[in-house]
Amino acid sequence: MLRFDIITIFPAMFAQVLDESILKRGQEKKKIAIKVHDLRDFTLDKHRKVDDRPFGGGPGMVMMPQPFFAAVKKIKGRRKAKVILTSPSGEPLTQKKAKQLAKLKDIILLCGHYEGVDERVQSKLADETISIGDYVLTGGELAAMVIVDCVARLVPGVLGKAASLKDESFEGNLLEYPQYTRPADFQGMKVPKELLTGHHQDIEHWRQAQSMVRTKKSRPDLLRKAA
Ligand code: SAH
């Protein structure tokens, strides 16, 4: 069982995404658990304030360290959880990284907002900082959902067929080959004949070649790693 604890000022954002489909079944099967916590429950003042102006000036508000430290202390308790801060300045999230995280038992995700989070959260509280891509989001909530989603599906027993993981994109640094289903002819757009032969070896060859073509076209950087 892999447990995720998410700390956020917008707890209501999560249920619709994480309590549906595969992640819902994963929770029902007790392969994963997802708990969402309101950061404001860990503030000390009566206004439940979580942010303040940046030292040194500049636009926007920075999230204060105290609520995050209090939340992690309470939620972590004596467990050995890995604390991950979401941030555009973190280590990029990759399939390889997701596989590493899927081996853990306990992950606590911290969601920033506004201009970001006081640096002491990253340097002293978080074990790791993860970015989901080279762009800036309004908050860490979507990033946390992306991390939970791609990690959870790698936990054994969450996906229906373990085989669905085998040929996926990024395995061996290649993108997945094109997939088709019925009908074989849709409004004149035909399924490649190689797939209709029933000849396993030919199909395998065609798929490998297509994987290469695709990767070369959209992700030449991956192909260099594959070689
Ligand atoms: N001023 C910051 C961006 C803050 S965005 C900077 O320039 O780096 C507000 C919050 O959104 C961040 O604290 C983080 O939790 C989240 N966030 C934004 N972009 C993200 C990304 N690419 N990956 C992960 N989290 C991100």
- Name the residue with the closest Cα to ligand 1, atom 8: 88
- The pLDDT of 13-31, averaged and rounded, is 96
- The pLDDT of 29-43, averaged and rounded, is 98
Pocket test for ligand 1, best of 53, 83, 86 (most atoms within 8 A of CB): 86
Q: Which H or E element spans position 2?
A: strand 2-8
Which residues of the chain form CATH 3.40.1280.10? 2-152
> Looking at the chain, how many residues does it have?
227
Which pLDDT value is given to residue 165? 79
- What CATH number does the domain located at 2-152 have? 3.40.1280.10
Burial pattern 141-154, b for ≥16 Cβ within 10 A else e, equals bebbbbbbebbbbb
Q: What is the pLDDT of residues 157-179, one digit of tens each?
A: 999 876 677 778 998 899 999 99
Atom of ligand 1 nearest to the CA of 132: 23
96 CB-contact burial (10 Å; exposed 0-12 / middle 13-18 / buried 19+): exposed
Side chain identity at residue 87, one-letter code: S
Return all residues near 180 (Cβ < 8 A) that are at least 6 apart: 191, 192, 195
- CATH architecture for segment(s) 167-226: Orthogonal Bundle (1.10)
59 lines ligand 1 (CB under 6 A): no
Q: What is the pLDDT of residues 45-68, one digit of tens each?
A: 999 999 999 999 999 999 999 999
Cα dihedral angle (190, 195, 196, 197), rounded to 10 degrees? 140
88 lines ligand 1 (CB under 6 A): yes
Which pLDDT value is given to residue 209? 97
140 lines ligand 1 (CB under 6 A): yes
CA angle 140, 142, 143 (to 5 degrees): 60
Which pLDDT value is given to residue 162? 67
Compute the mean pLDDT over every residue in the chain, rounded to the nearest whole number.
96
58 lines ligand 1 (CB under 6 A): no
Which residues of the chain form CATH 1.10.1270.20? 167-226
